[in-house]
Amino acid sequence: MRSYENFFRQNRLPHLWCPGCGNGIVMKAIVQAIEKNPDFNQDNTVIVSGIGCSSRASGYMDFDTLHTAHGRAIPFATGVKLANPALNVIVITGDGDCTAIGGNHFIHGCRRNVDLTVVLFNNNIYGMTGGQASPMTPLGKKATTAPYGSVDRPFDACKLAEAAGATYVARSTAFHVQHLIKTIEDGLNNRGFSFIEALVQCPTAYGRRNKMGDPAKMMAWMRDNAVMKNSWDKLPDDKKIGDKFPIGLFFKAESESYDESYKKVQEIAGGAAK
Amino acid sequence: MKSEFTLKLDRCKGCGICVSFCPKQVLALDTLGKVYVANHENCIACGQCELRCPDYAIFMDKVKKEAAK
Amino acid sequence: MSARLMQGNEAIAEGALKAGVRFFGGYPITPSTEIAESLAKMLPKVGGTFVQMEDEIASMGVILGASLAGKKVLTASSGPGISLKQELIGYAAAAEIPAVIVNVQRVGPSTGQPTAPSQGDVMQARWGTHGDHSIIVLSPWSVKEAFEIAVKAVNYAERFRTPVILLTDEIVGHLRENVELPTDIEVYPRRKPKISRAEGYQPFTPDQDLVPNVANFGEGYRIHVTGLIHDDTGFPSGSPKITREQIKRMHDKISRAEDEIIEVHQEFMDDAEFAVISFGGTARTAYEAVLNARKRGIKVGFVRLITIFPFADKIIRQISKNLRGILVAELNFGQIVYEVERAAQCPVKLCAKYDMTIFEPEEIEKSIDELILEVK
Ligand SMILES: Cc1ncc(C[n+]2csc(CCOP(=O)(O)OP(=O)(O)O)c2C)c(N)n1
Ligand code: SF4
Ligand code: SF4
Ligand code: SF4
Ligand SMILES: [Mg+2]
């Protein structure tokens, strides 16, 4: 048994995701990143998720785990962290969970800069409810609620996170496994609000409807279209076309986290030792 | 053989990701849609299959030179 | 301890703090804001945490996360904010997370009349979230009692691992009284697991009182918490039997302790032929009305619901047997009156008011007189 498998609740596997679903790849990358961090262990780390296919990950991970309500993972996680700053808190969320119903919590989470690591499993669709358009469904792509192709302009969640004040912002994909692990690892090390968008294939609710082929083809699409940030920045605008998109670290800043700042409030008020 | 496989077939959902990304066509799906090692001798122990399996169903260990007669 | 001039809302903050609350998450709204403002000042002095969230949904989420991480928690709001909190009040009921929610009622629906008192959220307090659930709702009538009820609310939340609604109103919230706060306070500690992980601990296995001893996060138990119907392990279950048993247990854990939880303040009931039932700020006026009526020789008693839910069915049924009629005075279009009608075995009349202003004693007295004529 691989060592990272200790971080799974073995009696709950196999997971309920569809054949070829990318969620399993990202969930494994998260535990492998945790494994590499000596400050994180199974008894001082809490996994908080919302509602969606992706948010079911918390149930498989052998930590204290909290499967909250749709869109609300970040507020719950904020409460866990502020109540006990010694805990490491990781949030697992979906594109709908994070940027639609949880959009307000997301931007305020970034702004507040509580020390959380948020991993968004972006499958460009509402997977759990059967393939409705999300705020991250690309223009022209089909969904059950966008049968003629979506005309609803999508968010770039990374730009949103950066603008809102997150102190670590990066993107990777289910194809770029080693890069994904490293990206999450660096996010865990950042003392503040870290945001990682992980592209995942959803063959069932997204790929099939958009004729993207089998799961492996969807991953090959990630391989062929993802451009590392350094190269992306050098690309002339007329080459940033089609399906091409950047991955890598987009933003990092040193800024005191809310939990550290609030300790100062307690000091000023005279309650720090209590 | 350069590699040794551990298959957890109860976990394999037959998605074909390992089959597709194997550079040497070592793996295949059987009639029940489960993975099996079809051409073990071609395996170069690159680990792509294990790396990408979303279901933690296939594990590949490199076999040390001396051991692999 | 010497007497202090204090507002109802401040007394709630003080009471919560004395009961061990160390975490508050909230969003400003009249007429509840003083609770947040008091705790923003007081909590960091005792090593606690105050956080202002982006809305009331987040305020509920943040306190539930904090509660699971081991802190006693409180939030406070009013009508529009309570409507937003409903989603996660249900989560707290389903996942059995201790939390106190203060509702300082104002006139609704919607934005209503932000600064005007009301008691229009009674049924929302009982039923305000989707699905079958039980809940405890308490309502004070004075500043001192606001303190005491805050302590009780925190204790019940912890003891039963349930959301508790402290249902007050603008009258009591903004009332200023000289109060001497009690010093010997009984505090119910956070429940603890009785066995270790190795011994087969399951977070939602009920104790003898039907309440589970859920471990706090970070204590090595590696528990799973979800709003899905779950079994004793905490993991989702699709079984009809588990669903039935869990929903029933979550009701039973509170209903079996009803006699302890339900508090009703009664006066002048020995010789009473009639009674006025009221609660919260309205009960102050009702009391005056009863005194005035008695001066006129009317045998009317005073009944005040301190515990609104679980409803005092048994008590109301019992007292109604000796009464010729009951008047229910409430600052709304008529809500608790239906509960009273259900329980009472005598005629019940409603004295309702919903025009921003509080009752005058004469209005209630007049209704008493009408009731007497009606039952003749
Ligand atoms: C308040 C609320 N509204 C709607 C739903 C129904 N619902 C469940 S999951 C989901 C969308 C999930 O999409 P996403 O967050 O992208 O996660 P995915 O399933 O794609 O991983 C919705 C709309 C819900 N559970 N709660
Ligand atoms: S519907 Fe999509 S996201 Fe959900 S489990 Fe299936 S493949 Fe994964
Ligand atoms: S990738 Fe994993 S689940 Fe998919 S076919 Fe291969 S072994 Fe089976
Ligand atoms: S190790 Fe590489 S060559 Fe061998 S089966 Fe796996 S993917 Fe194919
Ligand atoms: Mg999605």
Instruction: Quote the Cα angle for C197-C198-C203, to 5°.
Output: 25
**Radius of gyration of chain A from Cα atoms?**
18
CA angle A113, A117, A122 (to 5 degrees): 115
- pLDDT for C341: 98
**How many whole angstroms separate alpha carbon A76 and alpha carbon C43?**
19
Question: Using the beta-carbon criterion (under 8 Å), do B20 and A216 form an inter-chain contact?
Answer: yes
Rounded CA separation C361/C375 (Å):
21
* Residue C43: DSSP 8-state: G
* Cα-trace Rg, chain C: 21
Residues near C352 by Cβ (< 8 Å), separated by ≥ 6?
C330, C331, C332, C333, C334, C337
Whether residues C227 and A69 touch (CB distance < 8 A) is answered with yes
Residue A194 sits at the vertex; the CA angle it makes with A192 and A200, to the nearest 5 degrees, is: 165
Contact A82 C66 (CB under 8 A): yes
Q: So what's the pLDDT on residue C153?
A: 98
Domains of chain C and any CATH numbers: 4-179 (3.40.50.970), 263-375 (3.40.50.920)
Instruction: Report percent pLDDT > 90 for chain A.
Output: 97
A197: nearest Cα among A150, A152, A162? A162
Residue B64 has pLDDT above 90, yes or no: no
CATH number at residue A212: 3.40.50.970
Interface membership of A174 toward B (CB under 8 Å): yes
pLDDT beyond 90 at B65: no
Distances (CA, A) of C108 to C82, C105, C117, C305, C354: 11, 9, 10, 22, 9
Contact of C110 with C146, CB cutoff 8 Å? no
Helix (H, G, I), strand (E, B) or coil at C33: helix
Quote the ligand 3 centre to A9 CA distance (angstroms).
20
Contact call for C221 and A64, based on CB within 8 A: yes
A247 domain-assigned: yes
Using CA positions, which residue lies closest to atom 2 of ligand 1?
A: A70
Question: Sign of the C-alpha dihedral, residues C56, C57, C61, C62?
Answer: negative
Average pLDDT, chain A: 97
Those residues whose beta carbon sits under 5 angstroms from the ion ligand 5 are A 94-95, 123, 127
Q: What is the DSSP string of chain B?
A: --EEEEE-TTT-----HHHHH-TT--EEE-TTS-EEES-GGG-----HHHHH-TTS-EEEEEPPTTT--
CB pairs under 8 A between A and B: 56
Q: Quote the ligand 1 centre to A132 CA distance (angstroms).
A: 10
pLDDT band (50, 70, 90) for residue B66: low
Q: Is the pLDDT of residue B68 over 70?
A: no
If one counts every other C-beta atom within 10 angstroms of the C-beta of residue C166, the result is 28
C294-342 pLDDT, tens digit each = 999 999 999 999 999 999 999 999 999 999 999 999 999 999 999 999 9
Output the DSSP codes for A227-247.
Answer: EEHHHHHHS-GGGS-TT-EEE
Let me know if residue A274 belongs to a domain. Answer: no
Instruction: Say how far apart CA C22 and CA C357 lie, in whole Å.
Output: 36
Nearest to C358 by CA among C275, C289, C278, C285: C285
Position C247 pLDDT exceeds 70: yes
- pLDDT tops 70 at residue C217: yes
Task: State if residue B42 touches ligand 3 by the CB under 6 angstroms criterion.
Answer: no
**A22 contact residues in B (CB cutoff 8 A):** 54
CB pair distance less than 8 Å for A216 and B17: yes
Q: Is the pLDDT of residue C172 over 60?
A: yes
Count CB atoms within 10 A of the CB of residue C285: 23
**Cβ pair C162, C133 in contact under 8 A:** no
| ipTM of this predicted structure | 0.98
- When pLDDT is averaged across residues A169-181 and rounded to a whole number, the result is 98
Q: What is the distance in A from the centroid of ligand 3 to the CA of B27? A: 10
Residue C281 near residue C141 (C-beta atoms within 8 A): yes
Helices (H), C223-360: 240-255, 258-261, 280-295, 313-320, 336-343
Q: What is the pLDDT of residue C77?
A: 98
d(CA B28, CA B39): 9
Q: Tell me: pLDDT of C109 over 70.
A: yes
Say which amino acid occupies B33: G
**Between 3.30.2020.30, 3.30.1490.20, 3.30.70.20, 3.40.1190.10, what CATH number should domain B3-63 receive?**
3.30.70.20
Residue A63, pLDDT above cutoff 80: yes
Average per-residue pLDDT in chain C? 97
The CA distance from B17 to C234, in Å, is 33
User: Which tens digit of pLDDT belongs to each residue from A200-259?
Assistant: 999 999 999 999 999 999 999 999 999 999 999 999 999 898 999 999 999 999 999 999
Q: Considering Cα of A121, then A123, then A124, then A125, what sign does the dihedral take? A: negative
Place of tokens 């609620």: A145
C-beta of B12 in contact with ligand 3 (< 6 A)? yes
Quick one: average pLDDT of C11-28? 98
A172 touches chain C (CB under 8 A): no
Distance A128 CA to ligand 2 centre (A): 7
Token look-up 């619901």 returns C305
Q: With contact defined as beta carbons under 8 Å apart, do C307 and C137 qualify?
A: yes
What's the CA gap between A59 and C228, in Å, rounded? 12
Task: List, in sequence order, every residue forming a beta bridge with A247; answer none if it has no partner.
Answer: A228
Name the strand (E) or helix (H) holding C26: strand C21-26
Ligand 2 centre distance from Cα of residue A204 (Å): 6
Percent of chain A residues topping a pLDDT of 70 = 100
Angle, nearest 10°, between helix axes A177-189 and A23-36? Answer: 50
DSSP letters spanning A101-160 = ITHHHHHHHHHHT-SEEEEEEE-SSBTTTTSB--TTSPTT--BTTBTT---SPPP-HHHH
Condensed to tens digits (0 to 9), the pLDDT of residues A108-147 reads: 999 999 999 999 999 999 999 999 999 999 999 999 999 9
* Residues in the ligand 4 pocket, defined by CB under 6 Å: B 3, 22-24, 26-27, 43-49, 60
Q: Enumerate residues 6+ apart whose C-beta is below 8 A from C30.
A: C78, C106, C114, C115
Tokens, residue C303: 């009944």
Which tokens is C137 given?
């709702």
Report the alpha-carbon angle C180-C183-C184, nearest 5. Answer: 140
- Which of A63, A87, A108 lies closest to C222 in CB terms? A63
**Beta bridge mates, A172:** A198
Ligand lying closest to the C-alpha of residue B47: 4
For C105, the token pair is 């009622």
The pair of structure tokens assigned to C92 is 């707290």
- The two tokens of residue A77 are 């996680």
In a mutagenesis test of the C interface, which of A39, A48, A49, A82 is the best target, namely the one with the most C β-carbons within 10 Å?
A82
* Residue A69, domain extent: 3-7+18-269
Nearest to B53 by CA among B17, B25, B23, B26: B17
Helix axis angle for C8-18 and C143-160, nearest 10°, is: 40
Q: Is the pLDDT of residue C66 over 60?
A: yes
State the nearest Cα–Cα gap between A218 and chain B, in angstroms: 10
Q: What is the pLDDT of residue C186?
A: 97
Q: What total of structural domains would you count in chain A?
A: 1
A12 in a domain, yes or no?
no
List chain A residues with CB under 8 Å of C218. Answer: 43-44, 46, 64, 84, 86-87
Q: Residue C139 carries which side chain, given as an amino acid letter?
A: S
Widest CA span in chain B: 36
